A and B are shown apart, each in its own frame.
Chain A
Amino acid sequence: MLRIAAVLIGLIFATAAGAAPLERDPTLRGLCGNAAASGEAADRLLSATPTLSPDDLAFADAAIGGLLSKKLVCPAAPTDPVALKADTGAVDLATGAPLAALPKGKAPVVSLKNRAKFERLAAALALLAAPNAAARAAALEVLAKSAADVPADLFAAAAGREPDPALAARISSVADLASLYGTDIDKRVAAVARLAEGENRRVLTEIEALRADPAYASEPAFAAAVDAAAAKVSGAIAIGNAAATLYNGLSFASILFMASIGLAIIFGLMGVINLAQGEFIMIGAYVTYVVQEGLRALLPGLLDWYLVIAIPFAFLVTALIGIALEASLIRHLYRRPLMSLLATWAVSLFLINLVRVGFGTQNLQMETPFYITGGIAIVGDFIMTWNRLFAIGFAALTLAGTWFLIRRSGIGLDIRAVTQNRDMAGCIGIPTRRVDMLAFGFGSGLAGLAGLALSPIYNVNPQMGTNFIIDSFMVVVLGGVGSIAGTVIAALGIGQINVLIEPIWGAVAAKVIVLALIIAFLQWRPEGFFTVAGRRK
C-alpha cells in the first residue's frame, strides 16, 4: 500500500522533473539492513543522485542526514514505517506524513567501512541541493578527495545547476580530475586534453604524474594523449616564461628610464651630474603620498585616483626644488663639475635627513587602487600585472612628452642648441642661463614623476633614491649623453640583461656583471651608443 503510494508520488515527480523516480521504501529498508545491504543501498542512491528530482533529493538528504545524526529509526517490525525523529514527535520518512508515535526500533549503526560512503553520499546530496554556496563548496571539497568513486555525471549535473560561476568552474575541474583517474579510457583521454587547456606549471606536474599511471604503458591512445598534452603545456609554459622575463625586464627598464632621462638631459646640457637625482625621485614619491593623504582627508571619493591627481604636483614640486637648486648652487659650478658632484651630494644628504626628520624613516603606506591590482593571465604562468603595466605605460607617456618637448617645442630647440654649442647659442641670442634653469627644472620634474610611478611598487622611505644614481648614470653613459633614444635603448638593454642574469646568479651578480659590461663597453665606445654632436671634451 505504502509502496504503491510512494511509486505514485514518485511517478508524479518523475513526470514533473523528467527524472527516474526513486523507490523510497526499499531504499530505506536497505539502509536499515546489515552492513552489506546498507552499503549497497548507499551505492545505488549515489549513482542515482544526478537524476533525482528535487523532492527525492530532499528525501534522500533527510534520510542520510538522519542516518548520520542517528535520528533515523529503523522499526523492529518490518511492517512499521521507517521513521525520522523530529523536534516534536516523528515523521514517516517515505511519505513525509507525521506519525502519532515513534515506532519501536533503533537507529542503525553505520559500519566503519560504510561511513565514508555515507559521507560521500551526504556531500553529493549537499552539492546538488544545499541552499547556500558555502555548504556546496564544502561538499565539493569532500567529494574532490575521492573523486574517482563519484559518478561522473554527478559533477556534470551539479555544474549544470550551480549558479555561482567560480564554484561551477571548480566543480568542472574536479570532474575532469575524476574522469582523469577513472577507468574509461576515452573519458580519460578527453580529460587529459581538457586538463592541458590549463597551461600552467601545476597542470604540467599533474600531466607528468600520469606517465606513472599503468594505463600509460598499456593504452597507446592514452600515452599519446598524455605526451601531446605535456608537450603543449610545457611549450606554453616556455613561451609564458620568456614573456614574463621580457615583461619584467621591460618594467625594470621603464623605471630605469624614468630615473635616468632627467639626468641625461641635465648632464648633456651642463656636464653636471646631479647626485641628488635619486632624492628627487624620493621627493616625488613623498609628494604622491601627501596628495594621497590630502585626498583621504578632503575628497575620499577620489582617493583611488591619487596616482593620476598627483602627477602635476609631483612634477611641479620637484621641478621647483630643482630650479631653486640650480639658481642657488649649480650655476656657480658649471666650470667645476667635480665640485658639483660634492655639492649635489650635500643636497641629497640634506634632503634625505630633512625628509627623515619630517616623516620618519619607516616605509609609507601607499594605497593600491583597483586599476593597479591583480593582472591578466596571458600564457603559461605569465601574468601581466597591472601595477607593472602602469609603470611601463607611465614611462611610455613620459618618453612621448619628453620627446615632444625636446624635439618639437621652442624651449626644446633652445635646449638642443645650448647642448651642442653653448657659446654659439649665446651669440645668436638664446638666453643660455634661463635654458639651463628650465632644463634643470624639467629634468628634476621627470625624476619626481619617476618617484610617482615607483610609489605603488617600491618601498617609499627616505633612503629609496640612494642607489638610483649609479644605475641611472650607467644608463646615461651607455646611451650617450643627452640622447633620448640612447637613454631608452640603454635602459631597455640594462633592464633585460639584469632580469636575464638575476635568476641564474642572483641580483648582486647581475649588478656586478652589468657594471663590468658597461666598463668594457666604454673601452670600445667611450661616447655611448648615440652621440649628440657637440662641444664635449
Chain B
Amino acid sequence: MIRSLLGSSGGTGFSLTLAALAVTAALLVATLAGVGPSGFLVNIIGQLAAFALLALALDLIWGYLGILSLGHGLFFAIGGYVMAMHLLMHSFETTGTVPDFMQFMGWKEFPAYWAGLGVFPYALAVALVLAGVVALVTGWVSFRSRVGGVYFAIITQALVYAAMLLMFRNDTGFGGNNGMTGFSVIFGLRMGTETASAVLALASVVVLALGLVATRALVSGRLGRLMLATRDDEVRLRSLGYDTIVLKTGVWVVSALLAAIAGMLYVPQVGIVNPRILSPELSLEIAVWVAIGGRGHLVGAVIGAVLVNALKFWLSFAAPDVWPFILSALIVLVVLVFPNGLLDLSRGFGALKARMRREGVASLDPRRAGP
C-alpha cells in the first residue's frame, strides 16, 4: 500500500493520493450539507492540508534541488500575517471590531500600510508579491555567491530568527508578541461556525491537490530533470551551459509562494498568528516532515506532514511531555535507518540493506549539494 503510494515513477501513488484528497473533499462537502465529520475534525483536516502544502513547498527545493531551507517559516509567516491583516480589516469593515493590538497600543486607526488589505484579491497579491520578493532577494544573493548546503540552511534559519525578533516588537504594527487574533468574519461567513471551518478545510484540501498537480507538472518535465541534475552535479550542468543560478532562484521563489499560500490557509483555521510561527523550531520541523515522508517525492512530503502532525495533534492531547522525545527518536530513526523516509519502508528491508552497503541512493541522496 505504502509502496504503491510512494512509487517513484509516481503513477499509482500520485493517483491514489489525489483520490484520497478527493474523498476528503467529498467528506467536507458532506459536512457543509450537515452530515459529515464534526467541526473539530474538519478543522484538524484543514490544518493538516495546510501543513502538507508547506511540506510540498520545502520538498520542491530540498528534495529536487538539494537546497535545505531551515527558514521556510518565514514565507509561511508572510502569508499568515497578511491573511491575518486581511481578516482583521475585513472584520473591522463588516462588524466594526477594533483589533486587540490597536487597543493595546492605543492606536485610533490602522497604520498606513494596512490600507486596502480588507479586499481579499489585494491581500493575496500583497502576500505573494512580498513572499516572492523576499525569496528573490535572498535566493539571488545566496545562489549568486555560491552559498549552499549547510551555509544556506543556517543562513535561512538566521533570517527566520531575525524576523521573529522583529515581530516580537510591539511597535511594528503587526501585533507584537501577542500577535493578531479575534478574526470574526471571513468572506462574509462568521468564523468558528461549522460552515466556516468546512469551507476553509475544503479550500485547503483543494489548494493542496492543485499544488500537488502543479508541482508534479513542474518536476516531471524537462525542468524537473534539470533540477535533479543541478542537485546531483551542479558544476557539470554549469559547464554544459545551463544557468543554474536562475534555475535555483526560480524554484526557490515558487517554493516560497507555495509556503505563503499555505500560511494564508493555516492562519484562519487556527484563529491566531503570532511571532512563534517564525520560530526556528517550526522551520526545522517542516524539514523533519519532509525527511520522514521521503525527500524528492512530492507525495512523500504530503504524507510525512500529515502523519507527523496527526501524531503531534494526538500526543499533544494524550501525552504532551512525551512528544519531543518521540519526535527526536523519529528523526534519529529516519536519519540512521531510513535515509529516504517512508520510501525505504515501502521498498522492504532487502533493498534497504543493499542500499546501506552502498551508503545512499545516488538519485535521492543530495550528498553533493553541500560542503
Show the binding face of A for B, using Cβ within 8 Å.
Answer: 267, 271-273, 329, 332-333, 335-343, 345-347, 349-350, 352-353, 357, 467, 469-470, 473-474, 477, 508, 511-512, 515, 519, 522-523, 526, 536-537
Contacts and interface: CB of A to CB of B under 8 A. Distances in A.
B186 to A, nearest CB: 32
A127 to B, nearest CB: 52
Nearest to A474: B158
B145 A522 contact: yes
Interface in B150-179: 150-151, 153-155, 157-159, 161-162, 165-166, 168-169
B331 A343 contact: yes
- 6 closest residue pairs by CB, A with B: A346-B331, A346-B328, A350-B328, A353-B324, A343-B335, A337-B370
17 contacts: A267-B150, A271-B150, A271-B370, A329-B335, A335-B359, A335-B365, A337-B150, A338-B150, A342-B335, A345-B331, A346-B332, A347-B332, A349-B324, A350-B325, A519-B141, A519-B155, A522-B147
A336 B339 contact: yes
Contacts of A467: 161
B371 A271 contact: yes
A329 B335 CA distance: 9
A523 B331 contact: no
B286 to A, nearest CB: 11
A273 B154 contact: yes
B264 to A, nearest CB: 25
B371 A511 contact: no
Interface string B274-294: 000000100010011001000
Nearest to A471: B158
B336 interface: yes
Nearest to A271: B371
A341 B153 contact: yes
Contacts of A338: 62, 66, 68, 149-150, 153, 366, 369-370
Contact of A345 (B284, B367, B370): B284
B327 A335 contact: no
Given A349-B327, A350-B325, A335 B360 contact: yes
A463 to B, nearest CB: 11
> Which one of A470, A511, A523, A526 has the greatest number of beta carbons of chain B within 10 Å?
A470
A282 to B, nearest CB: 15
Contacts of A537: 371
B365 A353 contact: no
B109 interface: no
Given A467-B161, A526-B145, A336 B367 contact: yes
A339 B162 CA distance: 24
A515 B146 CA distance: 18
B254 interface: no
A341 B339 contact: no
A214 B336 CA distance: 83
A537 B366 CA distance: 14
B328 A347 contact: yes
Nearest to A335: B367
Contacts of A470: 154, 157-158, 161, 280
Nearest to A273: B150
Interface of B: 62, 66, 68, 70, 141-142, 144-147, 149-151, 153-155, 157-159, 161-162, 165-166, 168-169, 280, 284, 287-288, 291, 321, 324-325, 327-329, 331-332, 334-336, 339, 359-360, 365-367, 369-371
Given A341-B287, A347-B332, A515-B158, 14 more contacts: A333-B335, A336-B365, A337-B370, A338-B68, A340-B335, A346-B331, A350-B325, A473-B158, A508-B168, A512-B165, A512-B166, A515-B162, A523-B144, A523-B145
Contacts of A352: 324
A212 to B, nearest CB: 37
A352 B281 CA distance: 13
Contact of B339 (A267, A329, A339, A523): A339
B324 A350 contact: yes
B288 A342 contact: yes
A337 B154 CA distance: 12
Contacts of B144: 523
Contacts of A333: 335
B325 A353 contact: yes
Given A333-B335, A526-B147, A342 B327 contact: no
Contacts of A340: 335
> Which one of A335, A345, A477, A511 has the greatest number of beta carbons of chain B within 10 Å?
A345
A368 B68 CA distance: 44
Given A332-B336, A508-B168, A523-B141, A515 B321 contact: no
A8 B259 CA distance: 104
B165 A511 contact: yes
A352 B62 CA distance: 27
Contacts of B145: 522-523, 526
B61 to A, nearest CB: 12
B68 A341 contact: yes
Contacts of B62: 338
Contacts of B328: 346-347, 349-350, 353
Nearest to B152: A338
A337 to B, nearest CB: 4
A335 B66 CA distance: 13
B151 A341 contact: no
> Which one of B158, B339, B365, B366 has the greatest number of beta carbons of chain A within 10 Å?
B158
A224 B321 CA distance: 71
Contacts of A512: 162, 165-166
A342 B287 contact: yes
A332 B359 CA distance: 9
Given A347-B328, A467-B161, A511-B162, A342 B360 contact: no
A271 B154 CA distance: 13
Contacts of A357: 321
Nearest to A354: B325
A329 B150 contact: no
Nearest to B163: A512
Nearest to A336: B367
A158 B327 CA distance: 73
Contacts of A271: 150, 370-371
B145 to A, nearest CB: 5
B159 A515 contact: yes
Contacts of A341: 68, 70, 150, 153, 287
Nearest to A513: B162
Contacts of B365: 335-336
Contacts of A515: 158-159, 162
A461 B334 CA distance: 29
A390 to B, nearest CB: 28
A272 B154 CA distance: 12
Contact of B332 (A343, A353, A469, A522): A343
A536 B146 CA distance: 13
A288 B4 CA distance: 54
Contacts of B169: 508
A289 to B, nearest CB: 22
Contact of B149 (A332, A337, A508): A337
B327 A339 contact: no
Contact of B284 (A273, A342, A511, A536): A342
A343 B153 CA distance: 14
Contact of B146 (A337, A477, A519, A526): A526
